[in-house]
Chains A and B, each alone.
Chain A
Amino acid sequence: GNSVTQMEGPVTLSEEAFLTINCTYTATGYPSLFWYVQYPGEGLQLLLKATKADDKGSNKGFEATYRKETTSFHLEKGSVQVSDSAVYFCALSDRRTGANSKLTFGKGITLSVRP
């Protein structure tokens, strides 16, 4: 079955530090890959996505590249801000066009950014 593995957290960084959050996956076929962010007390927001190998998703200074050879989708940001403090979830969805395709989530990792 499908699975997503995220690095263990939490992660605490100083403002303007470089961020990398690792994510690897196991899937049959060619899944779509996502990063979701959850701010305290809120639901999930899509941060970025990639649908095929070598695609790079980017948004709000965050980037992640779909690496089929290493089955990875690591999230990076060159300079984090305090407002980036949140929980980050890596997820995959199989490529079936059917509406019942499910999202498989990683465990999530909490990022705290100090001023």
Chain B
Amino acid sequence: GAVVSQHPSRVICKSGTSVKIECRSLDFQATTMFWYRQFPKQSLMLMATSNEGSKATYEQGVEKDKFLINHASLTLSTLTVTSAHPEDSSFYICSARDLSRQVNEQYFGPGTRLTVT
């Protein structure tokens, strides 16, 4: 149980285009999902907290107009990188919390490798 999927797993796009990444909880409902960014050989940096039916909460220093987050259902959150640039190339990971469990445990997706050329 508690499986989270991400799509696509890898994407290459040209500078100036937008890319959408999907995060789905497959066998549980997740009112809250989290989006992280991971640079090579570094830890995860929390970008934003996504709540179903409301606006996402962004961490300090993360541009909300560049990283658009939508959480329209209890099983799906999307991250759109708008007007992508090479410096946006990174590994993006989402996680979801299963509210049916008492422990504040997050289940992670497999990640999406974004390369902007």
Interface residues in chain A, defined as those with a beta carbon under 8 Å from any beta carbon in chain B: 32, 34, 36, 41-46, 49, 51, 89, 93-97, 99-103, 105-108, 110
**B41 contacts which chain A residues (CB < 8 A)?**
110
Contact of B42 with A102 in the complex, beta carbons under 8 Å:
no
**A108 contacts which chain B residues (CB < 8 A)?**
42-43
Classify the secondary structure of A's interface with B. Answer: loop
Q: How many A-B residue pairs have CB under 8 A?
A: 63
Contact of B104 with A89 in the complex, beta carbons under 8 Å:
no
Chain B, Cβ-Cβ closest to A96: B104
Contact of B32 with A100 in the complex, beta carbons under 8 Å:
yes
Q: List 30 A-B contacts (CB under 8 A).
A: A32-B104, A36-B108, A41-B111, A41-B113, A43-B4, A43-B6, A43-B93, A43-B108, A43-B110, A43-B111, A44-B44, A45-B108, A46-B105, A46-B107, A46-B108, A49-B105, A89-B43, A96-B104, A97-B102, A97-B104, A99-B51, A99-B97, A100-B57, A101-B104, A103-B34, A103-B95, A105-B44, A106-B43, A108-B42, A108-B43
Complex Cα–Cα for A32 and B103 (A):
8
**A101 contacts which chain B residues (CB < 8 A)?**
104
Complex Cα–Cα for A41 and B43 (A):
14
The 9 closest A-B pairs by CB, nearest first: A99-B32, A93-B104, A44-B108, A43-B110, A43-B111, A43-B108, A101-B104, A107-B43, A105-B43
Contact of B93 with A95 in the complex, beta carbons under 8 Å:
no
Most chain B CB within a 10 A radius of its CB, from A43, A45, A95, A105: A43
Contact of B49 with A102 in the complex, beta carbons under 8 Å:
yes
A-contacting residues, B1-54, CB 8 Å? 4, 6, 31-32, 34, 41-44, 46, 49, 51
Contact of B111 with A42 in the complex, beta carbons under 8 Å:
yes
Chain B, Cβ-Cβ closest to A94: B104
Complex Cα–Cα for A108 and B110 (A):
17
Chain A, Cβ-Cβ closest to B99: A99
Whether B106 sits at the interface, judged by CB under 8 Å, is yes
**A42 contacts which chain B residues (CB < 8 A)?**
110-111
**B93 contacts which chain A residues (CB < 8 A)?**
43-44
How far apart are A12's CB and chain B's nearest CB, in angstroms?
15
